[in-house]
Chain A
Amino acid sequence: MSHLGYAAGMDSFQATIDADGRIEPRDAMPDGYRKTLIRQIAQHAHSEIIGMQPEGNWISRAPSLRRKAILMAKVQDEAGHGLYLYAAAETLGVDRADVLDLLHSGKQKYSSIFNYPTLTWADIGAIGWLVDGAAIVNQVPLCRCSYGPYARAMVRVCKEESFHQRQGFEILYTLCNGTPEQKAMAQDALDRWWWPSLMMFGPPDSASTHSEQSMAWGIKRHSNDELRQRFVDMTVPQADVLGLRVPDDGLSYDEEAGHYRFSEPDYTELYDVVKGNGPCNQERLAHRVKAHEDGAWVREAAAAYAEKQALKEAAA
């Protein structure tokens, strides 16, 4: 405890934030800052590991050994990203097991995008290109988040995500230069994933509940609508290269502003999927809980072995 007590720590919290410095795990911080970060980092971690499911669905059916090896590496990365993030959340004083319980009991959410099914191989391309593309737009500013462990985890994640997006684009580019049926499959995937991808940036600024405080704390650097615009500006020219049509009749380029104008996504769908009514909500959560329970014997065996070795060492 400093001689000035708790208040001195709080002053230095605000001073650090104001100077665009980084807050580290054992620094004094307001309760709300800690809670907001725990919630955000935990839900980010949940999204990474739930996100393994829609893609894992296609590992055994990947069209070539090369595609299969790439997809396995990508899904393994998502597991790793989940672990970086759970570790970052734990620096704020929560236990990973408790945070996982909150996911399993449905008390904490994950990104709604993973509640949509992967119906064809082109969906794996669309996820890499659009979903990982949107994730990168969201995550790059988080590399400068005011909380050190979260920012550092994001630097690692962003480095790794860039191959994810490229492999997705490559899958679609190959399909688009294949047979008419393959190109139609790619178009169908874009038609289904475009709007859910736009919704990944969250509700419009006018309806976003957490944004203002998060901006003031340096957790969030740009508004939802700013990031959504950035994503559309990046992605539409890429769709042109693929020769695919973005499924938005209201899409046009505003020469003067240098931005694409696009229609507003149907946010009632977003709220509905968040509430649990997406096509795959129940399946995703049930699978996660089952994987956790099925793996219990491995954790127990490893713990029993560690205990036995420790006893042996103590006796020697």
Chain B
Amino acid sequence: MIEPLWEIFVRSRRGLSHTHVGSLHAPDATMALRNARDVYTRRQEGVSIWVVRASDITASSPDEKDEFFDPAGDKVYRHPTFYQVPEGVEHL
């Protein structure tokens, strides 16, 4: 009997997004939530928890990271710092 692995995401307070905090084993989603509460929020670290089966996550491969993220590499014009602003121009 192997308990599935769950990845745990906690929203630390309203207005912030859920952040990955770690993982744990549990037989089902309900137990995963309860265990996540006891393992990752013993000091009121969160107002909301997501649990996701680790096997349901598709991740980009670190081996391909150069090619995969290549397209953004030569597009510096996507950043405001790329542009020259003439002296004296404000609020731009």
Contact = CB atoms under 8 A, between A and B. Distances in A.
Interface stretch (A79-87, A134-142, A259-267): A79-87
A305 B26 CA distance: 12
A77 B41 CA distance: 11
B3 interface: yes
A2 interface: yes
B62 A153 contact: no
Nearest to A309: B28
B31 interface: yes
Contacts of A9: 62-63
Contact of A303 (B27, B42, B43, B64): B27
A83 B63 contact: no
A96 B1 CA distance: 13
A53 B17 CA distance: 38
A87 B28 contact: no
Nearest to A83: B39
B1 A300 contact: yes
Contacts, number: 60
A83 B22 CA distance: 10
A26 B59 contact: yes
B62 A90 contact: no
B59 to A, nearest CB: 7
A206 B88 CA distance: 66
Interface residues of B, number: 23
Contacts of A26: 59, 61-62
B62 A96 contact: no
B28 A76 contact: no
Nearest to B45: A156
A170 B74 CA distance: 59
Interface in B46-92: 59, 61-64, 66-67
B23 A303 contact: no
A90 B23 contact: yes
B27 A84 contact: no
B16 interface: no
Interface in A257-306: 299-300, 302-303, 305-306
Given A302-B27, A306-B28, A1 B63 contact: yes
Interface residues of A, number: 33
Interface in A68-84: 73, 76-77, 80, 83-84
Contacts of B2: 95, 97
A212 interface: no
B33 interface: no
A87 B23 contact: yes
Contacts of B42: 73, 76-77, 80
A18 interface: no
A187 to B, nearest CB: 34
A306 B24 CA distance: 16
B28 A305 contact: yes
26 contacts: A1-B63, A2-B63, A2-B64, A2-B67, A9-B62, A24-B62, A26-B61, A26-B62, A27-B62, A80-B39, A80-B42, A84-B22, A87-B24, A88-B22, A90-B5, A90-B23, A96-B25, A152-B22, A153-B22, A160-B43, A299-B1, A302-B3, A302-B27, A302-B31, A303-B27, A306-B28
Given A9-B62, A87-B23, 5 more contacts: A1-B63, A9-B63, A87-B22, A160-B43, A302-B26
Q: Which 4 A-B pairs have the closest CB atoms?
A: A306-B28, A306-B27, A302-B27, A87-B23
